[in-house]
Structure 1
Amino acid sequence: MQPQAHPTETLLPDVFLIESAWEVCNQVGGIYTVIRSKVPATMPAWGERYCLLGPYFPNQAQGEFEPLDELEVHTGSDPYTSAVRAMRAQGYDVCIGTWLVTGRPRVVLINPFQVYGQLAQLKTNLWQRHGIPAPDHDDLLHQVIAFGHLSKIFMQHVAAHVPAGKRLLAHFHEWMTGVAIPDLRRERVPAHIVFTTHATLLGRYLAMNDPDFYDHLMRVDWQAEARHFNIEPAVQMERAAAHGSHVFTTVSELTVRECIYLLDRMPDAVLPNGLNIERFVALHEFQNLHQQYKSKIHEFVMAHFFQSYSFDLDKTLYLFTSGRYEYHNKGFDLTLEALARLNHRIQASGMDGQVVMFFITKRPYTSINPQVLERRALLDEVRDTCRAIEQQVGERLFYAAAASQDHKLPELGEMVDDYWKLRYRRQLQSWKTNVLPPVITHNLGDDRTDDILNFMRRAQLLNHRHDRVKMVYHPDFVSPSSPLLGMEYGQFVRGCHLGVFPSYYEPWGYTPLECVARGVPAITSDLSGFGDYVLQTIPEPEQKGIFVVRRQEKTFHEAAEELCDMLWNFVQLNRRERIMQRNAVESSAELFDWKNLRVHYDHAYGLALERQ
């Protein structure tokens, strides 16, 4: 049953809320998006009673964190400022200030390295008190243990400064911050504790290595598998946090089963992830933005392909997938298989048009492929020459028009100097080549073992002229500083026609949601938390431009055929139908706004406050 929406500010006016996450002012992965995007919906409800807590890493925080004025720290009377003052009096290095994001929430950041001298004792305590082992040579675990100890001290001080009759809620995200929970309970710190696992650590490892992960889940020996993957300490911390919290939550119905079998506790509530949709809304400009950023992608495609052969850009569709490089978990394997089938199907049909498919992920590389850079540079030279000719012809045509007596359009070629004619001809001669366009934009450290490249080689998806699905593997994040695409990731998404994310393991999945927020149709799967949520809450989601591949209880090849059918149906749409679909997608984005989904958090907080 869905919890009923209610204004937290009227239900919990006597409660202070600390939300702790490793990615506060520290962008590492998806939790950063969860926390940051939720702030604008959280602040109106909680205001000054809300505080975020995270580790202090100066290089990460410098662009996002604004320290509080020292006078405010010395005179502030709220529990958070008072706790920081008390910790500083004990000699701790603690920062308090504002996160420079929409909503500007109060933030406390604590340097974990300051207690590294106590690590031996802290690890001994973890083992003796909670049975959690900690090896000697894992620096992330050391940071986590140190931060957990400092978090506990901060919570103790906050609890001591909460006014009489008021209560304290502490919400921890993921095992990296949840390590503080066992000691908070052991020392009876008066806080109501919520713990959220966004993806069980062991579940992610198992899914990457077991193609039948969901079938085998109920038979997993969690401790043996954790030892096998050398992650037992982190898994033990995650289990201790789940069992120590008053309320245990996860982000989708899909991960509920994982929690039962891998953490041995049934979640009390499901907290689906949303976005701050206002941040993406372009009012009625989203169609114009699509055209604007599509033209930037056109520039890349012309440079990348047209040196070898050309095709009609007006009949070309841009598809993409993105995310962490987890070949099986992210559904890259399924996407490639469906694209190979689509390529054959379009060729056999004789249909006009092309598909250019972008794979955007992060891989170790040595450099950008010089051939790709050279193609771009040569096309830029051709463009400069064309602009010079355009200017010369324009000036002479204007003069000729003003002086004309016969109203006829003059021969434009005669208005171009021989120098520019020769330069134009020579540049085109040096520009054209018979070499196939590269399928990858960068030189990988080891491309022989790369699963994406190896599939392309086996399936002969190598950008032949006759291929109707062209491939661009971009093993780096999209950014404005890149000499290839030269735009923000969000702009690139807006310029594409379809996002493809048929994940095998995805506890939630922001990539399709980010498409929807920008008015771009997206494909997800029923094995992603987002796709499962869509199936449960939106009747006929395909009418809203959200397509869900059914992977549960289907073979890989059955799912690949279904995905191929979805892509085939999409490429057959005409321009007007695609515009209508983008309109439908844009109108559905509001369903995933944090203003609507925050109710699930309110429900979990209400449960925690009922428990001692």
Structure 2
Amino acid sequence: MNSTDKGINENIALNVPEKTILFEIAWEVCNQVGGIYTVIRSKVPSVIQKWGKDNYFLVGPYFAEQAAAHFDPATDFSTPIGKAVLKMQERGFDVYYGQWIVSGRPNVVLFNPYSVYDKLGEIKHFLWQDFHISMPGNDELLDKVAAFGYQVKEFFHYLCSTKFCEGPVITHFHEWMAGLPIPGIRKENLNIKIVFTTHATLLGRYLAMNDHRFYDHLPFYNWEAEATKFNVKSIAEIERASAHGAHVFTTVSEVTGKECTHLLGRTPDMILPNGLNIRRFEALHQIQNQHVQVKEQIHDFVMGHFFQSYSFDLDKTLYFFTSGRYEYHNKGYDLTLEALARLNWKMQQANSDMTVVSFFITKRPFYTFNPDVLHSKAQIEDVRGVCEEIKQQVGKQLYTKITSSDGPYQFPDLSALVDDYLRLKLRRNVQSWKTHQLPKIVTHTLIDDAKDEILNFLRTANLVNNRHDKVKVVYHPDFISTSNPLFKMDYNQFVRGCHLGIFPSMYEPWGYTPLECLASGLPSITSDMAGFGDYVVKEVSGNDAKGLYIINRRGRDFYEVAEDLANKLFAFVQMSRRERIALRYRCEEASLHFDWSNLGKYYDDAYNLVIER
């Protein structure tokens, strides 16, 4: 056992409360809708290793489409939880018990929100009467959250009416969508210990999108007035009630902790940083081989997209990318674009022989793929197909020609071995593929093209994939998946094929994207305004050498930061191939710090604290 493995196993052995049952309640249990899905799912194996399968349960909503892919129904209902589920079903609740089909196969209880819609009026009435939480009508998400919260509260009410709650029971609620049962549990004085984690405040996200000096103004906001202004008052009320009702209130970073103090009116008791199941990403000595294999697939896209207009040396091409929800300022897309424009100029001035292709992967409303992009992809596939035919024909005829020759050995003229039909077919395919138009900067036809901030910057800066540009841009307004005809790979594969991730967020409670890069052996740049970046600055020594580049954005001018980021990008471009390969291995090694077997200790501390209280 090496020292790293020993350290991880020691962390797993950290104490958790004895003879205690742990429930984690989240909207993303068996329901893949956001970043918390990654938090909950990736944490499961390490939690089961500590608590045991019989002491750990997850609770979430039941949606048939999601459940079909994620949920395996139970056949044995003899456990106390199984019996409670049967009793709930007898009372008319549409509740399901089984296992989540992820690593560790944890036990889950799922409630169908729609099954109590006939009680919505009554549920909302008591939420207002008892807790002053206003729930407007005709809001689909709020209706589902209210119905789910009511059923979860009733479930724990039933459990505590038996002898189940005589032993220690911890309930850990994640985010406002799951937190609504908390005030009801406290009002009924159920013998349950409550931990609540907010992964971000919705009000904070809206404020940051509209105020570039959000953190400076944070102490002066009137939460109620601002929540009303942005039409999120109900959600803010749920967040505040959940935070104040919990025995232990936590969040994911010190950055978000300040937000909670001022917007939710309670300072978190603890910080629970987000980890990953690093073992799921590990490639060990295969990391460089995997990078090369996936990079070849990205090369295929780049050739189809750019080479019909002009070509460049793929051996001297670097792939940068940024990704996440479309929040132009919050996610730092504005800063990334400004830095790329400056990088383009720096590389031109230095007469660099390198090319950078930078991908923007986000989600925007679109009509369909850009037909020209798809057509180019199809045409280069035709060119490849004819080349394969020629390769087979030449190989076969060369072998025949060499072995059947009676005279002295002479290497034959290879072009003479190709049929005129294939010569003509290849010529026609290449001529129909080539174009004098510039490569498209966006792969889809956007619904609101004229108002898209990324596109408008690229046009204004003339960063539109000119032949002389050293930095090329591909804006892909949809998430990457294996069904995508342009890339034909999933997001994690795509990340492995790139060289650098860029995430200089202005507002980011945690930020999984740079952590996912690290786990894939990919260096990345983030900011000290992101929870992850702030954690790295304080907890990881020598972060630059480990491929964890942090941009300082606090209290600095936008253009000063953009120049700083551009210089970091330029320095990366100037690295040798050998240096980049060595950095990949250091990245993967550094990622072990963020494995749940290490960061899970913060959750253990929270559970011990809630038992003490």
Task: Give the whole-Å Cα distance in 2 for the aligned partners of 1:562 and 1:36.
Answer: 36
Q: 2:446 matched to which residue of 1?
A: 444
1:67 and 2:69 correspond: no
Task: Give the whole-Å Cα distance in 1 for the aligned partners of 2:372 and 2:424.
Answer: 25
- Rate the CA distance shift 1:491–1:88 in 2: closer, same or farther, 3 A: same
1:48 and 2:50 correspond: no
Q: 1:582 matched to which residue of 2?
A: 584
What do residues 377-418 of structure 1 show as CA deviations (whole Å, max 9, x unaligned)? Answer: 111111111111111111111122223443332211111111
Per the TM alignment, residue 610 of structure 1 is displaced from its structure 2 partner at its CA by: 1.2
What is the one-letter code of the residue matched to 1:32? Y
Residue pairs, 1:391-430, within 5 angstroms: 391-404=392-405, 405-430=407-432
Task: Give the whole-Å Cα distance in 2 for the aligned partners of 1:434 and 1:6.
Answer: 60
Per the TM alignment, residue 160 of structure 1 is displaced from its structure 2 partner at its CA by: 3.5
Per the TM alignment, residue 163 of structure 1 is displaced from its structure 2 partner at its CA by: 4.5
Q: 1:138 matched to which residue of 2?
A: 139
What is the one-letter code of the residue matched to 1:543? A
Q: 2:363 matched to which residue of 1?
A: 362
Equivalent pair of 1:14/1:165 in contact (CA under 8 Å): no
Query: Which of residues 530, 540, 546 is equivalent to 2:542?
Result: 540
**Which blocks of at least 5 consecutive residues in structure 1 are unaligned?**
none
Q: 1:13 matched to which residue of 2?
A: 18
Q: 1:34 matched to which residue of 2?
A: 39
TM-score of the aligned structures, taking structure 2 as reference length:
0.97
- Rate the CA distance shift 1:192–1:300 in 2: closer, same or farther, 3 A: same
Query: Which of residues 469, 474, 477 is equivalent to 1:475?
Result: 477
Task: Give the whole-Å Cα distance in 2 for the aligned partners of 1:170 and 1:208.
Answer: 33
Residue pairs, 1:84-163, within 5 angstroms: 84-163=85-164
Per the TM alignment, residue 77 of structure 1 is displaced from its structure 2 partner at its CA by: 2.9
Equivalent pair of 2:12/2:49 in contact (CA under 8 Å): no
Q: 2:3 matched to which residue of 1?
A: none
Task: Give the whole-Å Cα distance in 2 for the aligned partners of 1:10 and 1:527.
Answer: 33
Equivalent pair of 2:16/2:604 in contact (CA under 8 Å): no
Task: Give the whole-Å Cα distance in 2 for the aligned partners of 1:399 and 1:288.
Answer: 36
Equivalent pair of 1:515/1:521 in contact (CA under 8 Å): yes
What is the one-letter code of the residue matched to 1:490? N
Per the TM alignment, residue 431 of structure 1 is displaced from its structure 2 partner at its CA by: 1.8
Residue aligned with 1:472, SS: strand
Per the TM alignment, residue 120 of structure 1 is displaced from its structure 2 partner at its CA by: 1.3
Per the TM alignment, residue 6 of structure 1 is displaced from its structure 2 partner at its CA by: 6.3
Equivalent pair of 1:159/1:168 in contact (CA under 8 Å): no
Residue pairs, 1:315-354, within 5 angstroms: 315-354=316-355
Q: 2:378 matched to which residue of 1?
A: 377
* CA RMSD across the alignment: 1.4
1:23 and 2:20 correspond: no
1:81 and 2:82 correspond: yes
Which range moves more in the overlay, 305-314 or 118-127?
118-127
Per the TM alignment, residue 443 of structure 1 is displaced from its structure 2 partner at its CA by: 0.3
Q: 1:250 matched to which residue of 2?
A: 251
- Rate the CA distance shift 1:6–1:522 in 2: closer, same or farther, 3 A: closer
1:296 and 2:297 correspond: yes
Equivalent pair of 2:551/2:565 in contact (CA under 8 Å): yes
Task: Give the whole-Å Cα distance in 2 for the aligned partners of 1:41 and 1:382.
Answer: 49
Task: Give the whole-Å Cα distance in 1 for the aligned partners of 2:55 and 2:612.
Answer: 19
What is the one-letter code of the residue matched to 1:373? L
Per the TM alignment, residue 11 of structure 1 is displaced from its structure 2 partner at its CA by: 4.0
Q: How many matched pairs?
A: 603
- Rate the CA distance shift 1:255–1:557 in 2: closer, same or farther, 3 A: same
- Rate the CA distance shift 1:146–1:165 in 2: closer, same or farther, 3 A: closer
Equivalent pair of 2:528/2:550 in contact (CA under 8 Å): yes
What is the one-letter code of the residue matched to 1:392? Q
Residue aligned with 2:285, SS: coil
Task: Give the whole-Å Cα distance in 1 for the aligned partners of 2:583 and 2:365.
Answer: 37
Q: 1:487 matched to which residue of 2?
A: 489
What is the one-letter code of the residue matched to 2:450? R
Q: 1:283 matched to which residue of 2?
A: 284
Task: Give the whole-Å Cα distance in 1 for the aligned partners of 2:533 and 2:14.
Answer: 31
- Rate the CA distance shift 1:13–1:202 in 2: closer, same or farther, 3 A: same
What is the one-letter code of the residue matched to 1:35? I
Per the TM alignment, residue 586 of structure 1 is displaced from its structure 2 partner at its CA by: 1.1
